[in-house]
Amino acid sequence: MEERPIGVTILAVFAGILCVINAIITLRFLGFLPFIGPVDIVDIRVFSIWYALLYGLLAYIWFWVTKMLWEVDPQAWTFLLFITVMNLSFDFIILITGGSWYDINISVILNALILLYIMLPGTKEAFGTD
């Protein structure tokens, strides 16, 4: 078994956190958990099967990426780059269509950190993508 660098372990942990965040958002869109926002709208439950399917798919993808990173799969770097950019695009679309920064701030911050980190030469070298 190939030894996993600490940076790749950190990426796997971030990907795992994003998996949990997307699973929580899926439950919110299924109406099981409320959206928590400003004081005037404290407990709003929303049901949207389309958004629940999309975020459920994202949760599964983040789980898969976490597994690939944990095993230091050489294809994990490319797929992580793709999924991070896709997730940031979804968050941007949510913002420009009237969504709340409060609901996506953790996702944006973690995805931006992941994107910056995977572009470092040492991270590329760990996956053999030089």
Note the pLDDT tens digit of each residue in 17-29: 989 988 988 998 8
Note the pLDDT tens digit of each residue in 27-81: 988 888 766 655 455 556 677 898 899 889 989 999 999 999 998 888 888 888 9
Q: Considering the domain boundaries, does residue 42 fall inside one?
A: no
How far are the Cα atoms of 61, 72, 103, 113 from residue 127, in angstroms, in the given order?
19, 7, 32, 18
Beta bridge partners of 44: 35
State the pLDDT at residue 57. Answer: 93
Q: Considering the domain boundaries, does residue 107 fall inside one?
A: yes
Q: Considering the domain boundaries, does residue 51 fall inside one?
A: no
SS3 label, residue 99 = coil
Note the pLDDT tens digit of each residue in 85-102: 988 998 888 888 877 787
Look at the chain and report how many structural domains it folds into: 1
